[in-house]
């Protein structure tokens, strides 16, 4: 059977036995992933500029991670959830060394959605309140509590959201209507407006504000300098706990261990996932001793089948060890600067690139269809993404209401200088090809 026939048969089987979840399948069948490369059924090499699902921070099949998995699968994989183990305590201790005071208490789960659910419950238990605020361009997951705090997608056909959900204007500098007389982004006035709306809507039971330091799925919205500090002050005035969702921005990707460190603030609850497990299902919830004690007194309960699993904890411990040992934060900052410089050159070359934004190795390219109106260009962005894949580059484009097609460029932090240049060259070729066809 030829590869083409085999692929056709594969997708026919997939259509028959897999239920669709609203996410269209990639036309490629990936059979191997190694380092920064994916390989399809024809053994064609594809440079991965999305780190899998934004998770494979150290690349695919990192040899040290593979060895840890091999060891713990054979030795200590899974136990009753109340049986804590050395890998779990070691990971909690190592993570605490990176956490800024007073964050010091952690536990470990599987996914970002699950950890956001736990963080929201912690905030509700500790404060005794129930209202949760999130950005209008937020994405925190699609389980009930996390999905209720998600405003970019998934809100239709799911029934009532959790009570007390309030949306806050997302800091979208490129498209915000809030402008100073000189045309620059007036985020201070926008924030005042946002809080005035929250204060009017709230019934006096504000428990938490769930936020990302860079809104990733919402379009790589990098917060203006001073934004998080002012936001923290406003939350403190109202007795609101800050839940920081660093699923995609943590463990060095933006040039700091945690992206909130760029603004010198400390959240009340920190949630990690994706990058912490380097592609394996691992998430963490960290908070202060005071909040942990308050939750204990309130009778907080969080019990899941894979709470504090030893195997994934051992992986997370190794990830943090490698990140510290190999000076990954600095590496991400240097490679990110190279990537950013190359993207700006592409912006100067191609009219459809409306905006470049992000930090470190998490960069965004917003595609527009008209330079005067800045009309979103999701179809154009998808065409560039498809062409890049055909040329050997996997780069994710997010098409959501209210924005253009926004590329999330997030290669593993192990990416080399030459691979950055290779990816930029493929993007250059993809833009040139698509725009030529677009104007015919």
For the residues of 124-171, what is the DSSP string, one character each? HHHHS--EEEEETT----SSHHHHHT--SS--TTS-PPPTTEEEE---
- The per-residue pLDDT of the chain, averaged, comes to 94
- Give me the pLDDT at residue 73, please: 96
pLDDT in the model for residue 204 = 96
- Checking if the pLDDT of 379 tops 60, the result is yes
Q: What is the DSSP letter of 26?
A: P
User: Token pair for residue 244?
Assistant: 């920081």
Quote the pLDDT of residue 221. 95
pLDDT of residue 156: 84
Radius of gyration of the chain (CA): 22
Query: At CA 336, angle to CA 334 and CA 341, rounded to 5?
Result: 100
Rounded CA-CA distance 338/301 in Å is: 46
Cα separation of 257 and 243, whole Å?
Answer: 17
Beta pairing, strands 393-394 & 45-48 = parallel
At residue 425's C-alpha, the angle toward residues 323 and 401, to 5°, is 75
| Res 2: pLDDT | 61
Cα torsion for 194, 199, 205, 206, to the nearest 10°?
A: 30
With a cut of 60, say whether residue 402 has pLDDT above it.
no
Band of the pLDDT at 404, cuts 50, 70, 90?
A: low
pLDDT at residue 150 in the model: 86
- Measuring CA to CA, which residue among 256, 262, 302 is closest to residue 275? 256
Rounded Cα distance between 334 and 131, Å, is 40
Alpha-carbon torsion 214, 220, 225, 227, what sign? Answer: negative
Is 139 catalytic? The answer is: yes
Which residue from 84, 61, 92 is spatially nearest to 287, judged by alpha carbons? 92
How many helices, marked H, and strands, marked E, lie in the chain?
13, 17
- Residue 23's pLDDT band (boundaries 50, 70, 90)? confident
User: Residue 152 — pLDDT band, cuts 50, 70, 90?
Assistant: confident
* In the predicted structure, residue 3 carries a pLDDT above the cut 80: no
pLDDT at residue 160, rounded to an integer? 86
- Give SS3 for 107: strand
Total residue length of the chain: 440
Q: Domains in the chain and their CATH numbers?
A: 3-61+327-438 (3.90.1150.10), 76-325 (3.40.640.10)
With pLDDT > 90 as the criterion, what percentage of the chain qualifies?
A: 85
- Residues with Cβ within 8 Å of 280's Cβ and at least 6 positions away in sequence, in order, are 65, 69, 312, 315
107: left (phi over 0), alpha (psi -120 to 50) or beta: beta
339 close to 253: Cβ distance less than 8 angstroms: no
The pLDDT value recorded for residue 243 is 98
pLDDT at 153: 83
Local confidence band at 396 (pLDDT 50, 70, 90 cut-offs): confident
Instruction: Give the burial class of 147: count Cβ atoms within 10 A of its Cβ; 0-12 exposed, 13-18 middle, 19 or more buried.
Output: buried
Half-sphere exposure of residue 245: CA atoms within 13 angstroms, side-chain side: 28
344's torsion region: left (phi>0), alpha (psi -120 to 50) or beta? alpha
Low-confidence winner among 10-14, 19-23, 188-192, 265-269 (lowest mean pLDDT)? 19-23
- pLDDT digit string, tens, across residues 60-94: 999 999 999 999 999 999 999 999 999 999 999 99
Which residue among the candidates 72, 139, 172, 227 is catalytic per the annotation?
Answer: 139
Residue 1 in this model has a pLDDT that exceeds 80: no
- Asked if residue 127 has pLDDT above 60, the reply is yes
Phi, psi of 90 (to 5 degrees): -65, -40
- Distance from CA of residue 367 to its chain's centroid? 20
DSSP structure string for 88-106:
HHHHHHHHHHHSPTTEEEE
């Amino acid at each position: 059977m030829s590869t083409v026939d085999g692929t056709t048969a594969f997708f026919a089987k997939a259509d028959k036995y897999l239920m669709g979840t609203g996410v269209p399948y990639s036309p490629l069948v990936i059979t191997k992933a190694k380092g920064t490369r994916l390989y399809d059924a024809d053994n064609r090499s594809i440079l991965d500029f999305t780190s899998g699902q934004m998770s494979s921070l150290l690349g695919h099949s990192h040899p040290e991670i593979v060895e840890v998995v091999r060891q713990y699968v054979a030795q200590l994989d899974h136990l009753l959830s109340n049986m804590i183990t050395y890998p779990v305590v070691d990971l909690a201790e190592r993570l605490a060394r990176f956490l800024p005071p007073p964050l010091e208490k952690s536990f470990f789960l599987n996914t970002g959605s699950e950890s956001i659910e736990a963080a929201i419950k912690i905030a509700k238990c500790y404060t005794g309140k129930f209202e949760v605020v999130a950005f209008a361009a937020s994405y925190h997951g699609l389980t009930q509590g996390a999905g209720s705090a998600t405003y970019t997608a998934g809100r239709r056909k799911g029934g009532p959201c959790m009570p007390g959900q309030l949306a806050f204007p997302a800091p979208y500098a490129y498209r915000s209507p809030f402008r100073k007389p000189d045309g620059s982004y007036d985020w201070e006035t926008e924030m005042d407006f946002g809080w005035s709306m929250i204060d009017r809507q709230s019934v006096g039971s504000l428990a938490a504000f769930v936020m990302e330091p860079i809104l990733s799925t919402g379009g790589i919205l990098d917060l203006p300098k001073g934004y998080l500090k002012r936001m923290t002050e406003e939350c403190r005035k109202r007795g609101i706990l800050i839940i920081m969702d660093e699923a995609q921005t943590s463990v060095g990707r933006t040039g700091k261990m945690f992206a909130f460190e760029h603004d010198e603030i400390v959240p009340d609850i920190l949630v990690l996932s994706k990058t912490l497990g380097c592609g394996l299902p691992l998430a963490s919830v960290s908070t202060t001793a005071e909040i942990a004690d308050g939750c204990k007194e309130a009778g907080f309960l969080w019990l899941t089948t894979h709470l504090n699993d030893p195997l994934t904890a051992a992986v997370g411990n190794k990830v943090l060890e490698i990140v510290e040992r190999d000076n990954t934060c600095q590496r991400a900052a240097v490679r990110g600067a190279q990537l950013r410089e190359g993207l700006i050159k592409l912006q100067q070359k191609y009219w459809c690139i409306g905006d470049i934004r992000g930090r470190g190795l998490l960069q965004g390219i917003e595609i527009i269809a008209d330079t005067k109106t800045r009309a979103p260009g999701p179809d154009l962005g998808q065409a560039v993404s498809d062409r890049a894949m055909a040329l050997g580059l996997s780069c994710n484009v997010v098409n959501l209401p209210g924005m253009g097609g926004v590329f999330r460029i997030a290669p593993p932090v192990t990416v080399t200088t030459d691979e950055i240049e290779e990816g930029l060259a493929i993007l250059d070729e993809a833009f040139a090809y698509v725009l030529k066809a677009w104007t015919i």
